[in-house]
Amino acid sequence: MITLEDLRKVFPAPGGGDPVVALDGIDLHLDPGRIHGIVGRSGAGKSTLIRCLTGLEKPSSGKVQVDGTDVAALDGAALRAARRNIGMVFQHANLLDSRTAAQNIGHPLEIAGVPRAEREKRVAELVEIVGLSGREHNYPAQLSGGQVQRVGIARGLAAEPKVLLCDEPTSALDGATTAQILRLLQDLRERLGITVVIITHEMAVVREVCDTVTLLQDGRIAQTGDLVDVAADPHGPLSAELIPLPPAPTGLDAVIVNCDYGDSTRIRTSEDLSRLAERHGAEATLVAGTIETIGGRQVGRVQIALRNDSGRPISPEGLAAYLRELETAGVVAQEVSA
Ligand SMILES: Nc1ncnc2c1ncn2[C@@H]1O[C@H](COP(=O)(O)OP(=O)(O)O)[C@@H](O)[C@H]1O
Ligand SMILES: [Mg+2]
C-alpha cells in the first residue's frame, strides 16, 4: 500500500550553516490492511516522513508511493486528488468550536463540494462507525477528550481514504480512553480494511495494536518488522523499548545484569539463568522481569543480581565467563550500574 524508496529529505539550515538531513535513505514497504507503528525520539524524522506521505513536503530525492501513485511526483489538482486517499488524524483534533460534531465531520466534504444530501448521509454513517451516535449534535465543548478524538478520526475518514495516518493519536488521552481509541482503530481496520499508520512515542500503543513497527533514528531506519519478530529479537534496539526493565536497584551488594532472552527456547526462566550462574560459582537472584505474550509468543527480559558463595558480588572474571556463556545461549546480557 505504501512504498518508500531511498527517500531523502534535506532542509537548508534555517540560520545558514550545515543543512539538516531529516530523512536519510528510507526504504520501507507497508502492506495494506494492517496497522503500522512508526516510533523514534524527537527529531528522528517522524513528522517529516508523514508530511512526505501526504505530499505536504516534497522529498529531496526518492519515491513515495501510496496505493500505486507516486505522491512526490504530483502537483496541483492531481496531488489534491491523491491526497483524498490519505486521511489524517492528529494529537489534537482542533475542531471548529462553533460547529457540532456532525458539522465538523462533514467539513472536509463541504470544502470538497459534496452536495448536502450526500454529505449528510456520509456523516451519519461516520457517526455510527466511530461510535458517536447520540452525540452528533454536541458542540466540541460538550464532548469528552475521547469523543473529540472520535470526531477527529471520523473527519479523517470522511473522504473514504485507503490510508489513515495518525500522528500521536492518543498522546493527549488518559489510559482508559487510549485503550478505547486503539480498539476503534482496530475495528476500523477490520470493518473498512483500511491501512493505518500510527506515529507514536508510546510503546504501549505499539504493543497493543500494531502489526508492524519501524524505529527511526536520525532519519534512518534502525529496525523494522512484524511486532512479534522485533520484540523477540534480543539483538535489536526495539526489544528493550517494548519489554522495558526498571533502572538497576540501589543498595544491593551484587552485580546487576539485564538479560534479554527474546523468545529463546534454551533460556526462558530464572532457573535457567541460575543454573548457568552456578557453573561460575555464583548465585543469580531475580530482581525484576518483564514477560509479554505478543502474537502468541512469549518474550522476556529479566534483571538479575549476581553474588558469589560468600554473598559478595561476583568477581569480574566470573562475570565475564557468565556473560560469554549467556551470549552463546542467545541471550543478550549487559551489566547495569545503579
Ligand atoms: N522545515 C524545516 N526546516 C529545517 N529543519 C527541519 C524542518 N522540519 C524538520 N526539521 C529538522 O529535521 C529533523 C527531523 O524533524 P521531525 O521530522 O520533525 O522529527 P520528529 O517528528 O521525529 O520529532 C529535526 O532535526 C528537525 O529540526
Ligand atoms: Mg514530530
Domain ranges of the chain: 2-237, 240-336
- pLDDT attached to residue 100: 97
What is the number of the ligand 1 atom nearest to the C-alpha of 40?
22
What is the number of the ligand 1 atom nearest to the C-alpha of 51?
17
Residue with cell 502492506: 31
Cell representation of residue 98? 462553533
User: How far is the C-alpha of 124 from the C-alpha of 146, rounded, in Å?
Assistant: 19
> Could you tell me the distance, in angstroms and rounded to a whole number, from the CA of residue 166 to the centre of ligand 2?
12
Residue 2, classed as helix, strand or coil, is strand
- pLDDT attached to residue 338: 65
> Could you tell me the distance, in angstroms and rounded to a whole number, from the CA of residue 48 to the centre of ligand 1?
6
Atom 4 in ligand 1: residue holding the nearest Cα: 11
User: How far is the C-alpha of 266 from the C-alpha of 261, rounded, in Å?
Assistant: 9
Q: Tell me, yes or no, if the two domains 2-237 and 240-336 fold the same way.
A: no
Q: Which ligand is nearest to the CA of 51?
A: 1
Q: Ligand 1: does its nearest atom lie under 6 Å from the Cβ of 9?
A: no
Q: Ligand 1: does its nearest atom lie under 6 Å from the Cβ of 43?
A: yes
- pLDDT attached to residue 337: 78
Q: Which residues contact 134 (CB under 8 A, 6 or more apart)?
A: none
Average pLDDT over residues 78-93: 91
31-56: per-residue pLDDT in tens? 999 999 999 999 999 999 999 999 98
Question: What are the backbone dihedrals phi and psi of residue 119, each rounded to the nearest 5 degrees, phi first?
Answer: -65, -45
Is residue 274 very low, low, confident or very high in pLDDT (cuts 50, 70, 90)? confident
User: How far is the C-alpha of 335 from the C-alpha of 305, rounded, in Å?
Assistant: 10
DSSP characters over 199-214: E-S-HHHHHHH-SEEE
Atom 5 in ligand 1: residue holding the nearest Cα: 11
What is the best residue among 8, 48, 166 to mutate for testing ligand 1's pocket, by most ligand atoms within 8 Å of CB?
Answer: 48
Atom 24 in ligand 1: residue holding the nearest Cα: 43
Residue 311, classed as helix, strand or coil, is coil
> Kindly report the CA angle at 266 between 263 and 272, in degrees rounded to 5?
105
Among candidate residues 330, 296, 329, 301, the one with its CA nearest the CA of residue 228: 296
User: How far is the C-alpha of 274 from the C-alpha of 267, rounded, in Å?
Assistant: 10
Q: For the stretch 302-337, what's the b/e string if a residue is b when 16 or more beta carbons lie within 10 angstroms of its beta carbon?
A: bbbbbbbeeeebbeeebbebbbeebeebbbbbeeee
Is residue 29 very low, low, confident or very high in pLDDT (cuts 50, 70, 90)? very high
What is the number of the ligand 1 atom nearest to the C-alpha of 11?
4
What is the CATH superfamily name and number for domain 2-237? P-loop containing nucleotide triphosphate hydrolases (3.40.50.300)
Pair 71, 28: CB distance under 8 Å: no
> Could you tell me the distance, in angstroms and rounded to a whole number, from the CA of residue 11 to the centre of ligand 2?
15
Q: Ligand 1: does its nearest atom lie under 6 Å from the Cβ of 21?
A: no
Atom 26 in ligand 1: residue holding the nearest Cα: 43
Strands (E), 16-162: 20-30, 35-39, 61-66, 69-70, 86-89
Residue with cell 461510535: 131
Average pLDDT over residues 116-132: 96
Average pLDDT over residues 265-269: 71
Q: Which ligand is nearest to the CA of 8?
A: 1
User: pTM (2 decimals)?
Assistant: 0.91
168-207: per-residue pLDDT in tens? 999 999 999 999 999 999 999 999 999 999 999 999 999 9
User: How far is the C-alpha of 92 from the C-alpha of 168, rounded, in Å?
Assistant: 9
Q: Ligand 1: does its nearest atom lie under 6 Å from the Cβ of 47?
A: yes
Average pLDDT over residues 5-13: 95
> Could you tell me the distance, in angstroms and rounded to a whole number, from the CA of residue 15 to the centre of ligand 1?
14
Q: Which residues surround ligand 2, an ion (CB under 5 A)?
A: 47
Q: Which ligand is nearest to the CA of 49?
A: 1
Atom 1 in ligand 1: residue holding the nearest Cα: 11
Cell representation of residue 336? 547495569
Among candidate residues 152, 123, 158, 157, the one with its CA nearest the CA of residue 137: 123
Give the strand pairing for 69-70 and 255-262: unpaired
Question: What are the backbone dihedrals phi and psi of residue 123, each rounded to the nearest 5 degrees, phi first?
Answer: -60, -40
Indicate the CATH number for domain 240-336.
3.30.70.260
